[in-house]
Structure 1
């Protein structure tokens, strides 16, 4: 099938940006973590749909550490790209940065990895195109993602036997 031909990460990667306003923040002006998580999942879901050309659902979001605060008035950018693909699932990596649009200062605030599964018309897992590895960076990301996927599967197996 033509829609299952290997695709490079560059074909679906995406950056979304949003200006953080007071309604996104707590009383001291720091953006709620849930706002950032929502942006991360939105960016990851769009990248997943672009890669699979199908609806996708989030099945796992690996831990996210908030490295720096994000403040009201910051422009938040989430860059997302496919790192690894399986038969129906894919890992998408997200990098979150906050920019002060007045000073131009940019800080890396978060990174996350999420697994999405593509769905067919009946809501069941559907095959997705393999990831075409074009660069050394693509190959490095793939190898690191494969190791994370092995760990996820081992954790799942352990949880099922507990």
Structure 2
């Protein structure tokens, strides 16, 4: 059973907090990328590869919203020169090229920052009850799903 609905003032405060959070997520990712000698899209590609493993350049282009062809090739070339990714032939289909992250390089460059963030966030979460953490987890998962849907909608409308 749901409790009483939030007041307009609480909803407005939450909307402001979400806008500020979203702005600082973008600024943080940009600062992390720059500290590692990358740009924001490059860092997101490395993140995708770290999270989900080797991908074809076309799959990467589709996931991060970069044009397939020249743009993704230039991006992968840049990351390869910087030592963040390697290319290899797909064992199942030798005609396909896969791009994979170099975890040692990624962790050496951005691991300390993400580790520091995780420790600070973890320390905060430890001050909350299980119910509060569950609510926060649900809210973040819902916000992520909404953002994912909007990304897809915006890309489809191009």
Q: TM-score, normalised by structure 2?
A: 0.27
Kindly indicate whether structure 1 or structure 2 has the higher relative contact order, using CA contacts under 8 Å at least 6 residues apart.
1
More helix by share: 2
Task: Flag the structure with higher strand content.
Answer: 1
